[in-house]
Amino acid sequence: MRNEEIPNPAVYRLSFYLRQLESFHRGDRHTISSKQLGEALGYSDAQVRKDLAYFGQFGHPGIGYRVDELIHQLKKILGTDKISHVLLVGAGNLGRALLAYKGFVHKGFKIVAIFDADATKVGRKIGDLLVRSDQDIASVVAELQIRVAMLAVPVQAAQAVADQLLAVGIKGILNFAPIALNVPGDVVVQSVDLALQLEQLSFRMTLGDSSPGDESSL
């Protein structure tokens, strides 16, 4: 699994391949060609082959790719072949929606603790989790050995909470606040800015469009 020569867009496409393969799998497709997989997602067959080849030789000449085999490999590459524990900071509307979201579970992510700064929320039960004070982050992270956090707090609080998370050893943050977080180089931030996505949609609707397929998020 060599690195540093893998194009960033290819890493995103990996996730799309996996998603599409699982759809094919549900449809009882056993084998798939790069052409078919590409067509379903709006990529060329060469693109698909090259992307996959960055990570190994998964195909069978004359046959294509075995769906279940490739799913397994992609999960391994992406690190979602085993269960990861995740913590969530922010028990507002978004935080609660994230907690209830089934998609994370399917990918092997389990939210094991939820925190909020608001004393009126602390102690409340959401799903089967108790909301804890953000003062407890350090002890919980240490105890449960958590490396990943989701940040669903108001933008004004985001950087401060991120600093807290860094201080206790969190190495990956899925950030929902509309701000460029400042973090050291060994920490990864993946950001989701909902309003920004809508703004992008707006632009692409006003003559801005040109993309050949349908999907975005590249």
Partner DNA sequence: GGATGTGAATGCATTCACAGCA
Partner DNA sequence: TGCTGTGAATGCATTCACATCC
Q: Does 46 bind DNA (CB under 7 A)?
A: yes
> Are the beta carbons of 163 and 189 closer than 8 angstroms?
no
Report the residue from 22, 45, 68, 69 that binds DNA according to the rule CB under 7 A: 45
Which residue type sits at 179?
I
Instruction: Return the number of the residue (67 or 86) whose C-beta is nearest a copy of itself.
Output: 86
In angstroms, give the least distance from the CB of 80 to a copy of itself.
5
Instruction: Return the number of the residue (56 or 213) whose C-beta is nearest a copy of itself.
Output: 213
What percentage of the chain's residues is helix, strand, coil (to nearest 5)?
A: 45, 20, 35
Residue 148: strand, helix, or coil: strand
Stretch in the footprint of DNA (CB under 7 A) among 8-16, 155-163, 168-176, 201-209: 8-16
In angstroms, give the least distance from the CB of 135 to a copy of itself.
25
In angstroms, give the least distance from the CB of 38 to DNA.
8
State which H helix or E strand residue 110 sits in: strand 109-116
Binding stretches for DNA (CB under 7 A): 7-10, 32-35, 43-47, 49-50, 52-53, 57-65
